[in-house]
């Protein structure tokens, strides 16, 4: 059983690290695209067409793929003051309930993101300003679905190993 958990942990850690790298690259691209747009707009008076959609896409990628990493590092905001006031058993009970609710919540978000993405895929909805409306939108919902599903798996790992971060900063 420990071998299966170790394999699960290694795979999950690698996937989270890859998503974090993609997230960071998307964030860097946001800065580069915005700076480029400001320079081109000021110098040549020609702003980038579809800049708003480009920033939305990169922002979705950046935030969506950063979520599992932040969860793995336990970098979220916790209400430690109230949590530390509880006795040891109370902390375990509250932590288990909160993590179980979070797993259910993220699984529901993942499911409905895939449902919404599939519905948009069937209607062939596209961004209106990018490349004359030929870039579809559905895959952004899939990104959110994938990242929230991986976040649920990360919380499951935290539930199994309550005092250990999956990834250390």
CA 75/CA 58 separation, integer angstroms: 22
Give the 3-state secondary structure of residue 136. Answer: strand
Q: For the chain, what are the domain ranges?
A: 2-160
**73-131 confidence digits (pLDDT tens):** 877 666 666 777 778 788 888 888 989 999 999 999 999 999 999 999 999 888 877 76
pTM, full prediction? 0.85
**Cβ-based neighbours of 75, under 8 Å, separated by 6 or more:** 69, 169
Tokens standing for residue 49: 């067409």
The confidence score (pLDDT) of residue 156 equals 92
Q: What are phi and psi of 125, to 5 degrees?
A: -70, 135
User: What is the distance in angstroms between the CA of the first residue and the CA of the last residue of the chain?
Assistant: 28
**54-89 confidence digits (pLDDT tens):** 898 999 999 999 999 998 887 766 666 677 777 878
């Amino acid at each position: 059983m420990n071998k299966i958990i170790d394999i699960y942990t290694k795979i999950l850690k690698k996937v989270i690290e890859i998503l974090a790298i993609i997230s960071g690259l998307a964030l860097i691209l946001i800065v580069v695209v915005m700076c480029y747009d400001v320079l081109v707009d000021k110098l040549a008076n020609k702003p980038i067409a579809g800049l708003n959609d480009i920033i939305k896409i990169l922002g979705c990628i950046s935030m969506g793929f950063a979520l599992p990493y932040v969860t793995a590092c336990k970098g979220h905001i916790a209400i430690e003051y109230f949590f530390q006031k509880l006795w040891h058993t109370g902390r375990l009970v509250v932590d288990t309930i909160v993590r179980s609710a979070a797993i259910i919540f993220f699984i529901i978000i993942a499911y409905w993101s895939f449902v919404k993405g599939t519905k948009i895929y069937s209607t062939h909805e596209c961004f209106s300003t990018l490349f004359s409306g030929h870039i579809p939108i559905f895959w952004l919902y899939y990104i959110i679905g994938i990242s929230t599903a991986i976040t649920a798996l990360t919380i499951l790992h935290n539930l199994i190993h309550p005092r250990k971060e999956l990834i250390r900063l």
